Amino acid sequence: MINLAYVIFLAATASLGGLLFGFDIAIITGAGPFLTQHFKLSDLSLGFAFSSLLFGCVIGSTVAGRFTDFYGRRKILLWVAVLFAVTSVGTGLASSFTMFVAARFAGGLAVGAASILSPMYIAEVSPATMRGRLCTLYQLSIVIGILVSYCINYLLRDAGEANWRWMFITGVIPSVLFFVLLLVTPESPRYLFIAGKEQEASRILERIAGPEIAQLEASEIRASLSETRAAWRNLLGPGIRRAVLVGFFLAILIHVSGINTIIDYAPAIFKSAGWKIDAALFSTFIIGLTNFAFTLVSFWAIDRYGRKPLYITGSLGMSAALLLLTWAVVAGRFQGSLVLVLILTYLAFFASAIGPVFWTLVAEIFPNNIRGTAMTVPVLTQWIANAAVVLFFPLAFHQIGKAITFGFLAAMALAQAIFTWFFVPETKNKTLEEIEEFWKGETILPPAGEPQASRT
């Protein structure tokens, strides 16, 4: 019998890493216009102000992915919470653009680490029949963090010359909450098996699903850990290579199809469509609400319809919205409410499908004994792709042209749908150990409609 309240508490606590992720990514959206004025930034300098955090994420995800297989998920998450708090203050108090970029880069270390550890922890404590919905809590927390940051941006827009400083400093509050809740949260049972602490791991599994299921899970986890692998060297070995390649390409496509251009540069896009700064900032609040509402849709759909159908549908919808934005530019209609409607349409497809499914897949497709290191590949890759897109978007948007920029993003969203159709397996209702066996080619995953009702 699954202890639902306990499982939700564990998943919700870990998902707060996503809230900090979303907050740090999006808080600069409203601060951007004031930063540009304060530091007299060019297009490329503004792109670097936005992307400096993302370059830190590259390093953070690399280090955390490797360290978590040695030191555990919970311990590193505690350090992540501390780093979030320190860098929020450091960014807000920066006295020069160089110090600002350095603080944002350091904050990126925490965001990058959370992007690996939070979804990993959730996947490792979740029952198979609930794993999609519980992993969606991570994406939902990202969206809540984005929405909260948009609200703070709008409320502080007229708070004087130091308004952008207070925008960043408010990040201390969720950081402290995250730290406190982690203090009463146990380590992941699958990591405890890796560390040789089987009795402690079994107690946690029993609390999650009862003694009988815990014994079954323990035997499956032991079997999955029976082979010792040299982490980096064997990432392209049998049973792992296909999963790594799927994660790698999904990580590129999720960002070159444009999501962070919308999240980060929405005010700039709306200003170019004729909106005034107050209206442009308020529009980000509408974006945040849409993002939140449609992420709730994914919570309902992901374990009902599966990962693959959602990913294909979401990609095609995003591509269609971006193509219409391209048409709007070419036809001279890129203005007013039409731009808002098309951006909200694009975001609805992303939030209801792509965002939640991506973070669910990268947390569940890798073997137990190498999950932390293997997850580094897609998470590191998506941060690199994210940083590149965010860095160069202002330049492309203003100098290469809106139509070419939106057209390229539309083509990438279509490529995402095609790649998913041919290469991404359905993992709905499968245990992590069953998915591992599938990649080895030793078994075929049973139909998604046949749930493994009582297994983790």
Lowest-pLDDT range of 14-28, 126-140, 243-257, 395-409: 126-140
- CA 151, distance to chain mean position in Å, is 20
pLDDT exceeds 70 at position 182: yes
Checking if the pLDDT of 239 tops 70, the result is no
Q: What pLDDT is stored for residue 259 in this prediction?
A: 87
| Spatial distance between the Cα atoms of 303 and 364, rounded to a whole number of angstroms | 14
Mean pLDDT (the chain, rounded): 84
Task: For residue 368, give the DSSP letter.
Answer: G
Give the helix ranges, DSSP H, for 40-184.
43-71, 73-92, 97-125, 131-155, 163-169, 172-183
3-state SS, residue 129? coil
Q: Which pLDDT belongs to residue 447?
A: 47
Q: Which band of pLDDT confidence, cut at 50, 70 and 90, is reported for residue 11? A: very high
Look-up: residue for tokens 């982690």? 182
**pLDDT at residue 277 in the model:** 63
Six-digit token pair at 155?
Answer: 């409320």
Q: What is the rounded CA–CA span in Å between residue 31 and residue 112?
A: 21
Look up residue 425 and give its DSSP letter: P
Fold that domain 4-440 belongs to in CATH: Growth Hormone; Chain: A; (1.20.1250)
The domain locations on the chain are: 4-440
pLDDT higher than 50, residue 267? yes
Q: How confident is the model at residue 455 (pLDDT cuts 50, 70, 90)?
A: very low
Query: Quick one: pLDDT at residue 62?
Result: 83
- The three-state secondary structure class of 272 is helix
Burial class (CB in 10 A: 0-12, 13-18, 19+), 195: middle
Tell me the DSSP string of 332-361.
T--SHHHHHHHHHHHHHHIIIIIHHHHHHH
- Of residues 271 and 107, which shows the higher confidence score? 107
Q: What are phi and psi of 156, to 5 degrees?
A: -95, 5
Q: What is the distance between the alpha carbons of residues 432 and 348, in angstroms, rounded to a whole number? A: 29
Its pTM stands at: 0.75
- Average the pLDDT over 184-196 and give the result: 89
Q: Which residues contact 139 (CB under 8 A, 6 or more apart)?
A: 18, 295, 298, 351, 355, 356, 359
Q: Give 189 or 335, the one with higher predicted confidence.
A: 189
403-430, pLDDT tens digit by residue? 998 999 999 999 999 999 998 888 887 7
Closest among 278, 302, 427, 320 to 357, alpha carbons compared? 302
Residue 28 amino acid letter = I
